[in-house]
Structure 1
Amino acid sequence: MVRFTALLMVLVLAASALAGAQSTGTPTLVIKRAGSRAIERAPEANFTGDVRVERLYDAIDPSHASGGFVTFAPGARTAWHSHPGGQILLVTAGTGRVQLWDQAIQEIGPGDVVTIPAWTKHWHGASPRASMTHLGITEQRDGTAVQWMEKVSDEQYNGVLSSPQQQPHTPAQAVQAEQTAPASNRQQGTTRPSGELQPRIAPGLATLTDDVLYGDVWTRPELSPRDRSLVTVSVLIATGRTAQLAGHLGRALTNGVKPSEASGVLAHLAIYCGWPSAVSALEVYDQVYKARTVDTASLGAVSPRLPAPGSEAERARATRAELEAVAPKFVQLTNDVVFDDLWRRPDLSARDRSLVTIAALAAMGDDDQLDVYLRRGVESGLTRAQIAEALTHLGFYAGWPKATTALAAVTKTLGK
């Protein structure tokens, strides 16, 4: 009965997708008979264990949705992955498991419908002792349906299981449950942010990482996870700490930063942090993009430029007045390349460029340059509270002295 319901759901979605299509010539009826569809083994690179896929339908323009049945043998599961357009799972048989990154594992069974938000890192599969079949409906964005990541380890798969009675019903409840749970309970989760080395070598550092940085700061609602990722990636590029960049760039993509935006950050910081800092991060970007099968050909798409802010004419005039007599070429590059080209590129909004610039300048200790960008940030839509929270977050990645000095500049420019 559940499988019939799933098939009916597929038909309804497929019919609605085709309803808006404009036919050319004589319409053609396509029927894929039961038993005629190929059942393929899922690729080992992206799955663990025996997994079989029965593709029901592919995305047909103007629809961006595709669907299929996936059957997992006991213990089998996907790798960690995310979907740019999100995904819906309808369990038709057996018992399964699903988990979002940094959250408890949830058990699912026949009739359960699981909605996975866009760009959210997760995995799903069968329970250890029972197989599971689900219908998966996946939305594409810019031609990409899924971005694959690392495999789910046995330790992660066998982590803490949340019962239905213990599951929070809203995101706010989920955050509250995480923040109020004893530290010992959070450390029993499938993946501790501190990893394996910190608890063994520096347990005090591991406690700060798990309970303060990720258990508190990253979950604070004053700044979105996406914005926190922009700040973190900017700091790591600005300070040349590429060893930590791969994980945080991946986290940024999971948190909703688009690949075009992430690449825009790199180009932007070449100007503000210097070419060596940006070029040093290229290989890390390449590795992350390849792991997530990012279509790099789409990164060069040309779009209309953004409008200049209202304060731009005054800024250009002030720059000429201060520096033109000494360095006329520098003034020309500043006005024509930095502000009339870079700041008007559409791969980053003016708000995001302001956030990235403030984070990079603070991380490098260039606080005497912050005034103009703090004002520009507010003009572009950043609030004083968001800027203060971004610099609080930055303290963990650039150091407390840098954050303290930058916050003093905020007080001087924007007031208390």
Structure 2
Amino acid sequence: MHDELLDAGCTPECQAEYEALPDDEARLCYLKRHRRHLVETLHQQQEKLSCLDIYYFYTRTAFERTGDRMTLDEIKQASPFAIGGENVNYAQYFDGKSYLNGLSLQQAYVGNVTFEPGCRNHWHIHHAKSGGGQILLVTAGRGWYQEWGKPARELKAGDVVNIPSEVKHWHGAAKDSAFQHLAIEVPGEETSNEWCEPVDSAAYDALP
């Protein structure tokens, strides 16, 4: 499974180190530690690939045997994006602790949001007269997304969520894993966010 990954970004010395490791768990830890270097190397060798191509390639290969559960420290080490500071400005709209790093403030806002295990935001709505909404690109860990009146959808690295405007929803980490996604605000006319009630604790605890 990892041969293609190693061929894409590893030196012979790196591959020899990997092959000498005793088991899959040790190899997985090795890939996590070296993920940033591998992404940079692949990007240099294959300039036609976009950042999202590289992101998708690695999240679907190097991490496909993790069971998708990650600690906050593992996400800090593995993610190409810094988690930023504690999300104090929006803490009142979250149950649990989250972190926010604003990656882009031009053209479209892109924020890297990281959730500690069990953290989730409250139900909320992205309003817009036209356009608007949000896109989530999941980069690490395991989490959930749910729209009002629909079943919760499990999320893991490589998943994409398109959230239309005017749809009430929430998203956040699973109970047993930290979670990270990029949040892209879709430009629109007369946009605003409405924060609603917290996610029901019993309903959240019932999720696997």
The answer to whether TM tops 0.5 is: yes
Indicate which of 70, 73, 88 corresponds to 2:116.
Answer: 73
Shift of 1:71: 0.4
Shift of 1:97: 0.6
* 2:160 is the counterpart of 1:113: yes
Unpaired stretches in structure 1, ≥5 consecutive residues? 10-33, 162-416
Shift of 1:148: 1.2
Which one-letter code corresponds to 2:155 in the other structure? Answer: I
% same residue: 38
Shift of 1:140: 4.2
Unpaired stretches in structure 2, ≥5 consecutive residues? 1-34, 44-49, 53-80
Q: Which has the higher contact order (CA 8 A, sep 6+)?
A: 2
2:87 aligned partner:
41
Indicate which of 126, 140, 145 corresponds to 1:83.
Answer: 126
Distance 1:83 1:74, change over 3 A: same
Distance 1:38 1:96, change over 3 A: closer
Question: Which aligned segments of 4 or more residues in structure 1 are displaced greater than 4 angstroms?
Answer: none
1:20 aligned partner:
none
**Count of paired positions:** 130
* 2:194 is the counterpart of 1:151: no
Which one-letter code corresponds to 1:144 in the other structure? Answer: T
2:60 aligned partner:
none
- What SS does structure 1 have at the residue aligned with 2:91? coil
Which one-letter code corresponds to 1:67 in the other structure? Answer: V
Shift of 1:87: 1.0
Contact 2:86 2:97 in 1 (8 A): no
Contact 1:83 1:140 in 2 (8 A): no
1:136 aligned partner:
183
Larger radius of gyration: 1
Which one has a larger percent strand, Structure 1 or Structure 2? 2
- What SS does structure 2 have at the residue aligned with 1:45? helix
**1:368-401 C-alpha deviation (Å, 9 max, x unpaired):** xxxxxxxxxxxxxxxxxxxxxxxxxxxxxxxxxx
**1:24-48 C-alpha deviation (Å, 9 max, x unpaired):** xxxxxxxxxx76x952424221111
1:55 aligned partner:
102
Which one has a larger percent helix, Structure 1 or Structure 2? 1
2:169 aligned partner:
122
* Pairing of 1:301-340 with structure 2 (within 5 A): none
Contact 2:143 2:179 in 1 (8 A): yes
- Output the CA distance in 2 between the equivalents of 1:143 and 1:8: 30
Shift of 1:155: 1.8
Which one-letter code corresponds to 2:186 in the other structure? Answer: E
Could you say what the CA RMSD is over the residues aligned between the two structures, in angstroms? Answer: 2.6
* Pairing of 1:218-237 with structure 2 (within 5 A): none
- Output the CA distance in 1 between the equivalents of 2:103 and 2:91: 21
Distance 1:76 1:160, change over 3 A: closer
